[in-house]
């Protein structure tokens, strides 16, 4: 089985949330995450990214 490597580097700015969402959606599909689980995954990751953008700096 091939190894999957994913990397995203962005500026810490809430305007980059769409980039985070697109990235997560891409690798979730690539890894075979069930379609009905992707919205919850996206919500979790965007919440974490939002907190990091706002409170992590």
Q: What is the pLDDT of residues 1-57, one digit of tens each?
A: 557 789 999 999 999 999 999 999 999 999 999 999 999 999 999 999 999 999 986
The whole-model pTM stands at 0.80
The tokens describing 13, both together, are: 């700015």
pLDDT of residue 8: 93
pLDDT of residue 2: 58
Q: What is the rounded distance in angstroms from the CA atom of residue 52 to the CA atom of residue 50? A: 5
* Other CB atoms within 10 Å distance of the CB of residue 6: 10
């Amino acid at each position: 089985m091939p190894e999957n490597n994913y990397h995203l580097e962005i500026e810490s700015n809430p305007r980059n949330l769409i980039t985070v969402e697109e990235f997560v959606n891409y690798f979730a599909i690539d890894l075979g995450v069930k379609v009905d689980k992707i919205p919850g995954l996206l919500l979790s990751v965007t919440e974490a990214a939002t907190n990091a953008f706002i409170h992590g700096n």
